[in-house]
Structure 1
Amino acid sequence: MSESLKDRLEAHHVWVYLLGAACGVGLSLLFPGFSAVADFLVWPLLAVLLLATFAQTPLERIPEAFTHRKFLATALLANFVLVPAFVWILLRLMPADPAIRLGLALVLVVPCTDWFLTFTQLGKGNMPLALSLTPVNLVVQLLLLPLYVPLLVGEDLPPLDLSVILPAVLVLLIPLAASVLAEFTLFKTPAGASVREGLSWLPVPLLAVVLACVTGANASRLPLAASAAPSVVVATVTFALFAVVAGVALTKTLRLQASHGRTLTFTLMSRNSFVVLPIALALPAGWELTSLTIVTQSFVELFALALAVHLIPRFIKA
């Protein structure tokens, strides 16, 4: 593939994802056995996707983030204090369906570590700052997610034993451990740099394939997803508006540089569906709507971010 093709994939990734999801539904309708195959493929594909995603997260740049103390403090407090507080309020206003609430809690409370970078670049943010913030966000969210979800959802959490949650834990930890090891060994060699560049091609097409498998495996439950879609769309749009208002207000109040403020706004808007989707897929029977909620939220968020690319530079001017 040429570099221009990679650029086109990234520029039109929303449509690539929609095409993937539509193909999953179509294949499941045309070939009844596809749903079982798709269900089996989700886990290994997610592991590869997370590996490719984590590989683009330069962990050695974590110290650089601490040189921009005002921005880092603002981003961390906004992402891990202000956002969870807003999500708690938002969930109280949502329908009482525990599966929808759990899906929204999982996906909204953690900041993105992948397409956050893409949209920050498109929205004229500060890319070196975004790159240094990304691994910090990743580490903090992995530590805080087990604490935040029970606080947000309350007593409606499904019963989970180790055998159920183990696949989700492994599909997160194995790619993360592999990327950390490669960061300080393989990726420092010329061959490793080529491997890392090769992995950078994977997130967009591979996520499209993952979405095809998720929708294909859950095709029979799509009417259930359709019934939940209005609530998920309202929640996602409301959250996006909150993130924009918060980002612009914090930028002006704290007098952040324009590029720093844009970066802050995009980290607040973009949520980490890649990391929490494996957890949702590991839930017991009866909680399928949780993963469908996360997928639906991701699609709505992508359109919001695509719009924000044009609006945020106007709201936060240099």
Structure 2
Amino acid sequence: MLTAALRPWAVTILFVAAILVGSLTGALAPATGSVIASVVDPSIMVLVGLLVFTLRLESLAALKRAPRTVLLALTFNFALVPVIAFCLTSLLLPDQALRLGVLIYCLFPCTDWFLGFTRMAGGDTTTGASLIPIQMSLQLVLYPVWLGLFGGQQVGNSPIEIAPTLVTWFAVPAGIALAARLFLWLCLAPTARERVVQAADSLVPLVIAVVIVGLFAGNVGTILADPAAFAWVLLVVFLFFVVVFVIVEGVARLFHLGYPSKALLTMTTSARNAPLMLAVTTIALPDQPVVYAAIILGMLIEFPHLTALTHLLRRQEKKQLDGATRASVTA
């Protein structure tokens, strides 16, 4: 998980560098770009395996700790966010491929680094950890449904036809990852197990960068054909984050959430699961570079946005503490 304030900026720089390397390679040496693009499929399987391997299933025991916060997070992420994303993309993105890419980016909540940002913001990480396996399971189940509902002409197969392909692609790396976790549990002490999981977690951004390089190296021509269109992607994702933040602020006040719960709700509704969705989409929608690019561009805004939210939440917490201190002094 993200544990240092500089890590989000480092990841953003890594992804920007991956886009530049892939784009330049594909534009200047198309043959080399095609070769590099061939690493996308195996890299995706590695990425899926790492994401499953780093899941903390033992955190499910914390669900009883804050049921209201869990229910609010799930309702927001899987009921309200789809409405917000659909309205924004329908109004501002006429291109169907771009609209679908941004929708896929926005629809699914993060199952990894949001917890690191929650920790940095002083939020409820125990409840946040319990959300991870639930949200990952829900989004994998809902992905074919959302794709069939929003995909339109971009989807050549029905959700029923897509589902077995997704199961095949994810069952193999997920099974290997779960077997490896079982091996760690049987053979290593808890401290050693945690070190191995953290090491695997630190590899996730690097594998994502490899996927990005391969996608851009193989598809840069299509992506750069209309650069102005991708400026709209950045605008829509930015507006999505603003609308979500404003609504979360209102929900937190309506339900009188304490600061730790509010910080958690803010982070889990702002962070999106772009790495997993990028992996799933390259399998479900082959040869759709515009869709992939829209998902990747969302990540470039997300990390600076989450960093800004961390500082904003910390300032809010400080104001609350200062206000409580002044009230106790005057009482």
TMscore range, shorter length: 0.7 to 0.9
Number of the residue aligned with 1:239: 240
Number of the residue aligned with 1:129: 127
Q: Deviations over 1:265-291 (max 9, x none)?
A: 111111111122123323244x32111
Q: Deviations over 1:165-196 (max 9, x none)?
A: 86654443333333334444434531655532
> Does the residue aligned with 1:202 lie in a helix, a strand or coil?
helix
Confirm whether residue 158 of structure 1 aligns to residue 163 of structure 2.
Answer: no
Number of the residue aligned with 1:304: 305
Taking the aligned partners of 2:97 and 2:76, their CA distance within structure 1 comes to: 26
> Does the residue aligned with 2:38 lie in a helix, a strand or coil?
helix
Paired residue type of 1:156: Q
Taking the aligned partners of 1:268 and 1:197, their CA distance within structure 2 comes to: 24
Number of the residue aligned with 2:64: 66
- State whether residues 109 and 273 of structure 2, in contact with CA within 8 Å, keep that contact through their aligned partners in structure 1: yes
- State whether residues 125 and 262 of structure 1, in contact with CA within 8 Å, keep that contact through their aligned partners in structure 2: yes
Taking the aligned partners of 2:86 and 2:161, their CA distance within structure 1 comes to: 29
Number of the residue aligned with 1:36: 34
Q: Deviations over 1:143-181 (max 9, x none)?
A: 222223333x26434212799886654443333333334
> Does the residue aligned with 1:218 lie in a helix, a strand or coil?
helix
Taking the aligned partners of 1:145 and 1:85, their CA distance within structure 2 comes to: 15
> Does the residue aligned with 2:37 lie in a helix, a strand or coil?
helix
Q: How does 1:217-256 map to 2 (within 5 A)?
A: 217-224=218-225, 226-256=227-257
Report the alpha carbon displacement of residue 50 of structure 1 after superposing the two structures with TM.
2.3
Of the three residues 77, 80, 84, the one matched with 1:79 is 77
Paired residue type of 1:89: C
Taking the aligned partners of 2:302 and 2:235, their CA distance within structure 1 comes to: 11
Q: How many residue pairs end up in the alignment?
A: 312
> 1:281/1:30 Cα in 2 relative to 1: closer, same or farther (>3 Å)?
same
Paired residue type of 1:35: G
Confirm whether residue 314 of structure 1 aligns to residue 312 of structure 2.
Answer: no
Paired residue type of 1:215: F
Confirm whether residue 214 of structure 1 aligns to residue 225 of structure 2.
Answer: no
Structure 1 stretch displaced more, 220-229 or 43-52: 220-229
Number of the residue aligned with 2:202: 201
Number of the residue aligned with 1:91: 89
- State whether residues 106 and 272 of structure 2, in contact with CA within 8 Å, keep that contact through their aligned partners in structure 1: yes
Q: Deviations over 1:94-131 (max 9, x none)?
A: 33322112112211111011221222222222222221
Paired residue type of 1:109: L
- State whether residues 234 and 298 of structure 2, in contact with CA within 8 Å, keep that contact through their aligned partners in structure 1: yes
Report the alpha carbon displacement of residue 134 of structure 1 after superposing the two structures with TM.
1.2
Of the three residues 38, 46, 49, the one matched with 2:47 is 49
Taking the aligned partners of 1:290 and 1:168, their CA distance within structure 2 comes to: 18
> 1:303/1:225 Cα in 2 relative to 1: closer, same or farther (>3 Å)?
farther
Taking the aligned partners of 1:284 and 1:205, their CA distance within structure 2 comes to: 23
Confirm whether residue 280 of structure 1 aligns to residue 278 of structure 2.
Answer: no
Number of the residue aligned with 2:261: 260
Report the alpha carbon displacement of residue 312 of structure 1 after superposing the two structures with TM.
2.7
Taking the aligned partners of 2:308 and 2:5, their CA distance within structure 1 comes to: 18
**Identity score, percent:** 23
- State whether residues 57 and 134 of structure 1, in contact with CA within 8 Å, keep that contact through their aligned partners in structure 2: yes
Taking the aligned partners of 1:64 and 1:33, their CA distance within structure 2 comes to: 51
Structure 1 stretch displaced more, 272-281 or 256-265: 272-281
Report the alpha carbon displacement of residue 82 of structure 1 after superposing the two structures with TM.
0.9
Taking the aligned partners of 2:267 and 2:154, their CA distance within structure 1 comes to: 30
Q: Deviations over 1:14-69 (max 9, x none)?
A: 11221222222233344332211222111111221222222222012223223311
Number of the residue aligned with 1:269: 270
Number of the residue aligned with 1:108: 106
Q: Deviations over 1:277-313 (max 9, x none)?
A: 123323244x321111111111122222222221233
Report the alpha carbon displacement of residue 201 of structure 1 after superposing the two structures with TM.
2.1
- State whether residues 108 and 139 of structure 2, in contact with CA within 8 Å, keep that contact through their aligned partners in structure 1: yes
Taking the aligned partners of 2:250 and 2:185, their CA distance within structure 1 comes to: 39
Taking the aligned partners of 2:182 and 2:62, their CA distance within structure 1 comes to: 16
In structure 1, list runs of 5 or more residues that go unmatched: none
> 1:189/1:67 Cα in 2 relative to 1: closer, same or farther (>3 Å)?
farther
Taking the aligned partners of 2:30 and 2:4, their CA distance within structure 1 comes to: 33
Paired residue type of 2:155: P
> 1:174/1:6 Cα in 2 relative to 1: closer, same or farther (>3 Å)?
farther
Number of the residue aligned with 2:138: 140
Task: Give the structure-1-normalised TM-score.
Answer: 0.87
Report the alpha carbon displacement of residue 227 of structure 1 after superposing the two structures with TM.
3.2
Task: Give the structure-2-normalised TM-score.
Answer: 0.84
> 1:110/1:304 Cα in 2 relative to 1: closer, same or farther (>3 Å)?
same
- Between structure 1 and structure 2, the one with the greater Rg is 2
Taking the aligned partners of 1:137 and 1:163, their CA distance within structure 2 comes to: 23
Taking the aligned partners of 1:193 and 1:128, their CA distance within structure 2 comes to: 16
